């Protein structure tokens, strides 16, 4: 399945999405951000995930353009994701938000555009806007983020196009099995944010034991577990060494038994907000 950093999964509409990418949640505008994105592209990453609320789309765009020039990468080799924020969820406002993101990134199109959170009573109009953007050829794929099964069912009742991706908090202590099974059964690609649980798993005894067994870091074991479970993943880092290390997961494979042992760490424990109780 995935034997190198450019390996892709095929979304329900035929678009190819890299299994692995760089997340840049909370990385502020400035040289650190620009360098992180450039390091990632230099070392073979092709997928970069940002969002309007991160407030760093301009820096991401700058890094993409510099990297394309310096490393001879074409735009179509990259896979760029952004997300519409809660305050902009509405038909016209979502289309405007998309255009703002494009302008900040300095791009002609996005590869994937997501609704960031399932705000009750607002996400259906936003989805209609995403469908328009998609049908008009302005974005290659559309999806959602942080949607639970009932949100997806509600959205799909009226949707013409079903989401191609659902990006959620996913790590060994929050495996979201019910949502994942629903997505798998409906051809919606599952994607993990905060795959390393913001560093809270690095001292876990089982994960340390497996890291020793496979001669890998705990982070590499977790990220490999994601891929072997068919989950696209976007770990965040700004340090070149860590960006390279996170991606060095294509030269080993976890046994089925070890995959299951990791999955058994699930405690339904979140580090981010609960999608059923959002007030932002």
Express each pLDDT in 204-215 by its tens digit: 999 999 999 999
pLDDT tens readout for residues 80-94: 999 999 999 999 999
pLDDT score recorded for residue 3: 77
Asked if 54 is an active-site residue, the reply is yes
- 81/278: higher pLDDT: 81
Question: 48 and 24 in contact (C-beta within 8 Å)?
Answer: yes
Q: Which residue is catalytic, options 54, 98, 123, 134?
A: 54
Q: How far apart are CA 131 and CA 126, in angstroms?
A: 9
pLDDT score recorded for residue 27: 85
Q: Are strands 47-49 and 142-145 parallel, antiparallel or unpaired?
A: unpaired
* Domain residue ranges of the chain, discontinuous segments joined by +: 8-263
Mean pLDDT of 228-239: 96
pLDDT tens readout for residues 119-160: 999 999 999 999 999 999 999 999 999 999 999 999 999 999
Whether residue 181 is predicted with pLDDT greater than 80 in this model: the reply is: yes
pTM reported for the whole predicted model: 0.97
From edge to edge, which strands make up the β-sheet containing 47-49?
22-23, 47-49, 79-84, 112-115, 142-145, 165-169, 189-193, 232-233
Mean pLDDT of 22-40: 92
The CATH superfamily holding the domain 8-263 is: NADP-dependent oxidoreductase domain (3.20.20.100)
H or E segment and range at residue 132: helix 123-135
pLDDT score recorded for residue 65: 98
pLDDT score recorded for residue 216: 98
Q: How far apart are CA 83 and CA 144, in angstroms?
A: 8
pLDDT tens readout for residues 238-259: 999 999 999 999 999 999 999 9
Round the average pLDDT of the chain to a whole number and report it: 96
Q: How many angstroms separate the Cα of 265 from the Cα of each of 21, 113, 171, 218?
A: 24, 31, 9, 14
pLDDT score recorded for residue 1: 53
Whether residue 99 is predicted with pLDDT greater than 80 in this model: the reply is: yes
Give the pLDDT band (50/70/90) at residue 29.
Answer: confident
- Is residue 71 packed enough to be buried (19+ CB in 10 Å), middle (13-18) or exposed (0-12)? exposed
């Amino acid at each position: 399945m995935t034997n190198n950093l450019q390996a892709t999964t095929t979304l329900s509409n035929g678009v190819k999405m890299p299994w692995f990418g760089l997340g840049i949640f909370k990385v502020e505008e400035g040289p650190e951000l620009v360098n992180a994105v450039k390091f990632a592209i230099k070392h073979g990453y092709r997928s970069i995930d940002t969002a309007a609320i991160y407030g760093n789309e301009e820096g991401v765009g700058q890094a993409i353009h510099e990297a394309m020039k310096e490393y001879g990468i074409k735009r179509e080799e990259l896979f760029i994701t952004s997300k519409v924020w809660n305050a902009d969820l509405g038909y016209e406002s979502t289309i405007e938000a998309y255009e703002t993101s494009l302008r900040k990134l300095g791009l002609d199109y996005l590869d994937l555009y997501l609704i960031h959170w399932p705000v009750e009573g607002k996400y259906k109009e936003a989805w209609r806007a995403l469908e328009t953007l998609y049908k008009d050829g302005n974005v290659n794929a559309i999806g959602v983020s942080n949607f639970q099964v009932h949100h997806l069912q509600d959205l799909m009742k009226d949707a013409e196009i079903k989401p191609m991706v659902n990006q959620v908090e996913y790590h060994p202590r929050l495996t979201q099995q019910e949502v994942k099974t629903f997505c798998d059964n409906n051809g919606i690609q599952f994607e993990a944010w905060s795959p390393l649980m913001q560093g809270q798993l690095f001292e876990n005894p089982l994960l340390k034991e497996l890291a020793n067994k496979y001669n890998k870091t705990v982070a590499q074991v977790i990220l490999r577990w994601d891929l072997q479970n068919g989950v696209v993943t976007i770990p965040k880092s700004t340090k070149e060494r860590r960006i390279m290390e996170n991606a060095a997961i294509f030269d080993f494979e976890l046994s089925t038994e070890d995959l299951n042992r990791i999955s058994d760490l699930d405690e339904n424990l979140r580090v981010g907000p609960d999608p059923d109780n959002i007030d932002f």
